[in-house]
Amino acid sequence: MSDYSIKARNNVKIIGSGEHVLMLAHGFGCDQNMWRALADKMGNDYTIILFDYVGCGQSDFAAFNANRYTTLDGYASDITDILSELNLSDVTLIGHSVSSMIGMLAAIKAPDRICKLVMVCPSPYYMNDLPGYAGGFERDDLEELIDMMDKNYIGWANYLAPLVMGGRADQSDVENLTSSFCSTDPRAAKTFARATFFSDYRDILANCPVPTLVLQSLADSLVPVNVGEFVAGRLPQATLRILDTQGHCVHMTDPELTGAEIRGFLG
Amino acid sequence: MCTLKLITVDALLSRVVRWPSYAAVDVIMDSSYKQSMIDNMPSGYFVTDVTQSIQFANRYALSHLGYENLLQRPLSEILTRASCILFESYVSPLLVREGVCNEIQLSLKTASGEKLPVVLNARREESDGEVHWTFIGATQRDKLFHELVQARNLLEEKNRLLEARTVTDDLTGLANRLSVTQYLTEHLKNARVRQTQIVVVFIDLDGFKAINDSHGHLVGDQVLKAVGQRLAGSLRTSDLVARYGGDEFVVLLEHGTGESKKNERMILRLLQKLRTPFQINGQMLSLSASAGATVYPQPGAVEPEQLIRQADQAMYKSKLAGKDQVSWFDPQWEATQRTYHELISQMRAGIKQDQFVLHYQPKINLLTGAVVGAEALIRWQHPERGMLMPMDFLPHIDSHHIEQELGDWVIDSALRQIGNWRARGLLLPVSVNVSAYYLMSEKFLDRLLALLHNYPGVPASQLELELLESSAIDDSRNISSIAGVCQRMGIKIALDDFGTGYSTLSHLRNLSVDVLKIDRSYVQDMLTNPSNVAIIRGIIGFAKAFNCLIIAEGIETDEQLNALVNLGCHYGQGYYIARPMPAESIESWIAAR
């Protein structure tokens, strides 16, 4: 479709300057704003591409298609669509959390466009698969998550409104209760949650075609250190760096440390 | 002074002092009182540091969570695993970015391992990264939510039932007309964005009426059901099959763009499926189907109903082209149609507003030069396009009712003119051109009689109907019977453009005509093309054999005139003799000869 721009669909923003291009992919629950601190630190030396996945942030929610985004492959297509529209190659893709796996899928799809990956707190599988693998969660935990999202997203009246209105209310009628920085379309958010937390990409790690930096937080309640080690162990060309910091969003809480690691990796 | 292990109450309250309700309190109260005040707060309150370790928890928090002490425990210990996900992926980024997070519902984990649903508010200190949390129980809220979910499920169920009844065709169980419109309304919005193409296929059964007539409606209904099943069975579940009404079905396919060949194959496969005979009550019944298809998106904006109409029109094309096939809608066609309808309405207005006139071309005896009659030729004085010749508009209204209205006007005008001339002593027969459609139109003879009746001073013999040879042979039997009646009324019948319409002798025998008009194409080339001379000679032979008058058209030179005379054709018309002229010029033209 020549009249429809992927840039507009994914709310693509290009900032900074530099020969090398970094593409920053946000994780579940957030949008490109989560990169602001890191982007500010890297923008002087790199060209930075920010975007929102369809259904997140300021993307075009009308483009959301539950089929496409049921698996992480659909999100990876958002990345390759953008790279292809901008006609970029040799890009370093920095993905936070689930975007680490999405980035890897994108690199497998378009190895000529993505030359390096940085995975910030990645997990290929969030569930426990004991004894060999401790993802950290049981299925019940993840079902509870979906239920909890419902409780947080749905305005009481709006929860019933679409049904009362005959099931055909515009998505815009269903308001996000906590719509601020991390605005996400509720329908898209649940689809994203399922794609993120219920799928298993452990076997794909070996197919990753590009050198990868794995950044793992020392204390991350979402992703245990053993998962970071597992990821680095399975990737063919990985560098694991365990950061002496807490939390899952190290690029927000420790942008300097994260930035330094990335610079070191890019050389 | 009561000192907490890590944070003093004073230090705590010096931070909370910025919360307006506490401002006055800070000045007058000592620390132990402040401690008990925080402990007595009817909500949980705790503080975490930058490492997400708990630095303080009030009594409410401890008692509701069942802990003696929470100091230095990681926050993740009192969050359920699901809450950890929301905390890490949503709350924590929000706090870093915006400093606050209001009314998030999470579940806390009690010391005994139970889940405590709570609504949390949090505020982050920019200076040191400490986070102050308050929470209240959400059990009541959870209960309400649970009831809401139940209400929603109930509503969903009722809606499903209701919807099933309004969007389903009772007979076939397929989607109905309403759901086609709904589907299109919903899908058109997104097709452009999703980069997909929607194909609307309109299918009308061929020969279904015959089955209904000969086997009855019950069998007919069973056939419709079976057709529905075959259609549905040949498509993907994402495609929609609907019974649109009667024996009409609509199929909606959604594909990636640029798969039009695939679409065509799919439709052909559907038609092939329907060609296989149906076994109903032990009888084998055969039918076929005609399909029309259109594609969305299109260059211009289109509404769902318009797409259906386009597919329906294309289906009609398949019917006309012999049925059992698929035709595609051509978006250009619609533009043509608009012009067509405009033309018809302009013509109707033109008749009312006297924009049409008849010009007359004299016919003469080639030997004597005497004027023997005139052919009336229609002109349209179009208010915007100027004077239009018959070729400019007649071909576009072929077989439309307007032909009848215009034909009546022509005969009426010609009769009036004959009467006017007769009143002034000029006895001039007039011929008018009529189409087979006009001749066969409903109550033509009644209308003709009525027209003649309006002009009692005009003998019917003064009127001649010129019929195109080609149209006369399409339905020669009916034409000849109507022409026969006209002749009995005294009206003359001429066969126009003779030699161009592949007449056979039997046609000529059936259709008794008074005049044969040699087509201008033979006359124009007759001096250079010997075979044309042979044809003219043949036509003259025919005319003599069938005892009719012969008139040559399109005489443009003296040589042509003489050659025709030599061949035995004694009457003619053409530019060499006179161009068509307004009625009022005829008398002066005759006088000037």
pLDDT for the residue B54: 95
Is residue B163 exposed (0-12), middle (13-18) or buried (19+ Cβ within 10 Å)?
middle
Starting at the edge strand that comes first in sequence, how are the strands of the sheet with A114-120 ordered? A13-16, A47-50, A21-25, A91-96, A114-120, A212-219, A238-246
With CB atoms and an 8 Å threshold, state whether B96 touches A253.
yes
CATH number for B228 = 3.30.70.270
Secondary structure element (H or E) that encloses residue B117, with its range: strand B115-124
ipTM of the complex: 0.85
* Cβ proximity of B493 and B467 under 8 Å: yes
With CB atoms and an 8 Å threshold, state whether A178 touches B80.
no
- Helical residues (DSSP H) of B362-443, grouped into ranges: 390-393, 401-423, 436-439
CATH number for B96 = 3.30.450.20
Looking at the fold, whether B178 and B135 belong to one and the same domain comes out as no
Looking at the fold, whether B587 and B557 belong to one and the same domain comes out as yes
Residues of B in contact with A148 (CB under 8 A): 82-83, 86, 105-107
Looking at the fold, whether B320 and B372 belong to one and the same domain comes out as no
Residues of A in contact with B107 (CB under 8 A): 144, 148
Looking at the fold, whether B173 and B321 belong to one and the same domain comes out as yes
* Residues with pLDDT less than 50, chain B: 1-5, 17-24
For B466-494, the pLDDT digits (tens) are 987 666 555 667 788 888 999 999 999 99
What are the counts of helices (DSSP H) followed by strands (DSSP E) for chain A?
10, 9
CA atoms within 13 A on the CB side of A243: 26
Q: Does A180 touch chain B (CB under 8 A)?
A: yes
Looking at the fold, whether B414 and B321 belong to one and the same domain comes out as no
DSSP β-bridge partners for residue A16 = A47
| pLDDT of A154 above 80 | no
Secondary structure element (H or E) that encloses residue A48, with its range: strand A47-50
Q: Does B76 touch chain A (CB under 8 A)?
A: yes
In chain B, whose CA is at the least distance from the CA of A168? B186
| pLDDT of A239 above 50 | yes
In chain B, whose CA is at the least distance from the CA of A6? B193
Active-site choice (A97, A99, A123, A217): A97
pLDDT for the residue A206: 95
With CB atoms and an 8 Å threshold, state whether A156 touches B156.
no
The answer to whether position B342 is within a domain reads no
Q: Does B104 touch chain A (CB under 8 A)?
A: yes
pLDDT for the residue A179: 42
Q: Helix, strand, or coil here: A95?
A: strand
- In a mutational test of the B interface, the residue from A36, A145, A156 whose CB has the highest number of chain B CBs within 10 Å is A145
Residue A97 falls in the annotated catalytic set:
yes
The answer to whether position B150 is within a domain reads no
Distance CA A75, CA A22 (A): 18
With CB atoms and an 8 Å threshold, state whether B257 touches A9.
no
Q: What is the mean pLDDT of residues A162-170?
A: 47
CA atoms within 13 A on the CB side of B229: 8
With CB atoms and an 8 Å threshold, state whether B52 touches A219.
yes
The answer to whether position B8 is within a domain reads no
With CB atoms and an 8 Å threshold, state whether B76 touches A137.
no
Q: Does B145 touch chain A (CB under 8 A)?
A: yes
For B10-34, the pLDDT digits (tens) are 666 555 544 444 444 555 556 777 7
Residues of B in contact with A9 (CB under 8 A): 193
**Looking at CA atoms only, how far is residue A30 from chain B in angstroms?**
7
A32 pLDDT band, cuts 50/70/90, is very high
Q: What is the mean pLDDT of residues A35-61?
A: 92
pLDDT for the residue B209: 87
* Cβ proximity of B45 and B61 under 8 Å: yes
Looking at the fold, whether B325 and B378 belong to one and the same domain comes out as no
The answer to whether position B391 is within a domain reads yes
With CB atoms and an 8 Å threshold, state whether B98 touches A167.
no
Domains and CATH numbers, chain A: 6-138+184-266 (3.40.50.1820)
Q: Does B86 touch chain A (CB under 8 A)?
A: yes
Residues of B in contact with A177 (CB under 8 A): 103
Distance CA A122, CA A94 (A): 11
Read off the amino acid at residue B289: A
Looking at the fold, whether B64 and B125 belong to one and the same domain comes out as yes
What total number of domains does chain B contain? 3
> Do strands B515-518 and B549-552 pair parallel, antiparallel, or not at all (unpaired)?
parallel
The answer to whether position B551 is within a domain reads yes
Looking at the fold, whether B423 and B503 belong to one and the same domain comes out as yes
Looking at the fold, whether B321 and B200 belong to one and the same domain comes out as yes
DSSP B314-349: HHHHHHHTTSSSEEE--HHHHHHHHHHHHHHHHHHH
pLDDT for the residue B12: 61
Residues 81-110 of A with CB under 8 A from B: 97
The answer to whether position B118 is within a domain reads yes
Q: Looking at B294, B329, B364, which one is the last position of a domain?
A: B329
Number of residues that make up chain A: 267
Residues 201-220 of A with CB under 8 A from B: 219-220
pLDDT for the residue A181: 40
For A77-111, the pLDDT digits (tens) are 999 999 999 999 999 999 999 999 999 999 999 99
Q: Which two tokens stand for residue B132?
A: 């102050």
Q: At A181, phi and psi to the nearest 5?
A: -60, -45
B35 or A179: which leads in pLDDT: B35
Residue A220 falls in the annotated catalytic set:
yes
Q: Does A38 touch chain B (CB under 8 A)?
A: no
With CB atoms and an 8 Å threshold, state whether B193 touches A222.
no
With CB atoms and an 8 Å threshold, state whether A221 touches B84.
yes
Looking at the fold, whether B461 and B517 belong to one and the same domain comes out as yes
